[in-house]
Amino acid sequence: MKILFVVSEVEDLAKTGGLADVAKALPLALKAMGHDVRIVKPYYKSVAEQYQLQDACPRQTLYAFDRPYEFGIKELDFQGVPVYCVDYPEYFHRQGLYSDGYHAYSDNAERFAFFASAALQVGKAMHFQPDIIHCNDWHTALTPYFARTDSSGFYANSRVLLTIHNGAYQGTHRFEDIPYLLPHQELRRQLDGDALNFLRIGIRYAHKINAVSPNYGQELLTPLGSHNLYDEFHRRRHDVSGILNGCDYTQWDPHTDKYLPQNYTAEEFEGKQVCKAALQKEFNLQTTADIPIVGMVCRLTEQKGFGYLLPIIGHLLEHNVQLIIIGTGDPSVSDVLESHAKQHPEKCVFRNDFSVRLAHLVEAGSDFFLMPSLFEPCGLNQMYSLAYGTLPIVRAVGGLKDTVADLHDDPEQATGFVFERPDASALLNCLRRALLFYHEYPQRFERMQRHAMSSRFTWQDAALNYENLYNQMSA
């Protein structure tokens, strides 16, 4: 099967988040299954500085109101998968992908409207006529529209899949601020007031819509979980599905992790206590195996559940526990965390920073990993935590619900602790339940840790599910 994978970022080339992880792992897994996969992404400044690439074909020109948009196509071999980079310096030769580090670029709508169209021109220029055009998030959500309205007939037999990695980001912009789109009267007729919602258009024009976990796919079909796009999702409800992302166990495996003071496995478990002691020493906490560590590494945003956590931290710290939180983001969140850390330095640590080494050490050295998310399309940290025998404490949303089994629901197969009600008291009750289990049933707790380490969510499984979806679309 021939697959054109259209995406705004790819791990090892340009990355801001989990979208890039998928854009690397999934094409490589599909390639290993024998599919002909080609990736199309922007030729960002960071990529140009890393790779001095030549044009793969003559320069291309697209037009909007007779204005020529001339761009190059750079080709890169990425572990056997061709990556075509759209080279338009005016839009992509910048310091950041979507922002300057502080503010989103004001012309992001124009940049990615152009890219969504240019990606299809890449397929034509490279004589690659795909069976499937796989688009990802709002940055490429106009590609389904351009493909379905293409008058050349080149994509007449192609089917378009839109994967939603985070539906909260929709790309809503004033239509008049997007010169590249002004000739498209069909889009003008679909405005919300004077604004165009890129994701809404993608939902309307894609042949199928996919979410990054089965439960998130179901949530998108509800008024509460649809990110204010309920009517659109409900109208396409028979075309909405969910496929769980995989986890890169080459980077997240306690048996081989180079960031750990001692590696370990479920069978040779002693190294986990060495990692716990190293974590406590790292943050000047009392070095003892008797006190449970609750770790958390994430962006400091409302999505990650700080609206539930901040009101109850004081109550949590009344218990025999050590709390370690690492992350950057919302200053109103970091201010509260810093205040608690100053009041309780013997049991509460907040590091307003991020490092790969510390992220790995927290995963290995903690007893619990906290993810009380408002919503979580898939989530990766709970998968990492399971692999490291660190039991997740999560809210039953999105991929968290798909990957963590609660102790009460299934004592023999449990891998963590889950709460449902979206409020602070429900989180506190869940934390207390986890701490009680740790203190009163240490042998059962360790068995649960070892069982959690047997959990596996592979990209091979995810790729098989995508292959099945592609086949359904092509039938």
Within a domain: 254: no
Q: Are 282 and 228 within one domain?
A: no
83: containing domain: 2-246+459-474
Determine the pLDDT at residue 100. Answer: 86
Q: Are 296 and 181 within one domain?
A: no
Within a domain: 259: no
404-460 pLDDT, tens per residue? 999 998 888 999 999 999 999 999 999 999 999 999 999 999 999 999 999 999 999
**Is residue 297 within 8 Å of residue 326, measured between CB atoms?**
yes
Q: What is the pLDDT averaged over residues 46-74?
A: 92
Determine the pLDDT at residue 187. Answer: 95
Place of tokens 């140009």: 48
Within a domain: 17: yes
Determine the pLDDT at residue 64. Answer: 85
The pTM of the full predicted model, rounded to 2 decimals, is: 0.94
What mean pLDDT, rounded, does the chain reach?
A: 96
CATH number of the domain enclosing 375: 3.40.50.2000
Q: Are 237 and 90 within one domain?
A: yes
144-203 pLDDT, tens per residue? 999 999 999 999 999 999 999 999 999 999 999 999 999 999 999 999 999 999 999 999
Q: Are 226 and 284 within one domain?
A: no
260-317 pLDDT, tens per residue? 999 999 999 999 999 999 999 999 999 999 999 999 999 999 999 999 999 999 999 9
224-268 pLDDT, tens per residue? 999 999 999 999 999 999 999 999 999 999 999 999 999 999 999
Q: Are 381 and 425 within one domain?
A: yes
Q: Are 91 and 186 within one domain?
A: yes
Q: Are 380 and 240 within one domain?
A: no
342-361 pLDDT, tens per residue? 999 999 999 999 899 999 99
Determine the pLDDT at residue 419. Answer: 97
Q: Are 438 and 465 within one domain?
A: no
Q: Are 42 and 115 within one domain?
A: yes
Place of tokens 């009163």: 440
Determine the pLDDT at residue 292. Answer: 98
Determine the pLDDT at residue 18. Answer: 87
What are the structure tokens assigned to 331, written together?
């200053």
Within a domain: 260: no
Within a domain: 253: no
Within a domain: 217: yes
12-31 pLDDT, tens per residue? 999 988 899 999 999 999 99
Q: Are 440 and 468 within one domain?
A: no
Q: Give the residue with greater pLDDT, 100 vs 9.
A: 9
357-377 pLDDT, tens per residue? 999 999 999 999 999 999 999
Determine the pLDDT at residue 73. Answer: 97
Q: What is the pLDDT averaged over residues 108-133?
A: 98
Determine the pLDDT at residue 357. Answer: 95
Q: Are 229 and 280 within one domain?
A: no
Within a domain: 319: yes
Q: What is the pLDDT averaged over residues 45-63?
A: 93
Within a domain: 258: no
Q: Count of domains in the chain?
A: 2
Q: Are 88 and 209 within one domain?
A: yes
381-393 pLDDT, tens per residue? 999 999 999 999 9
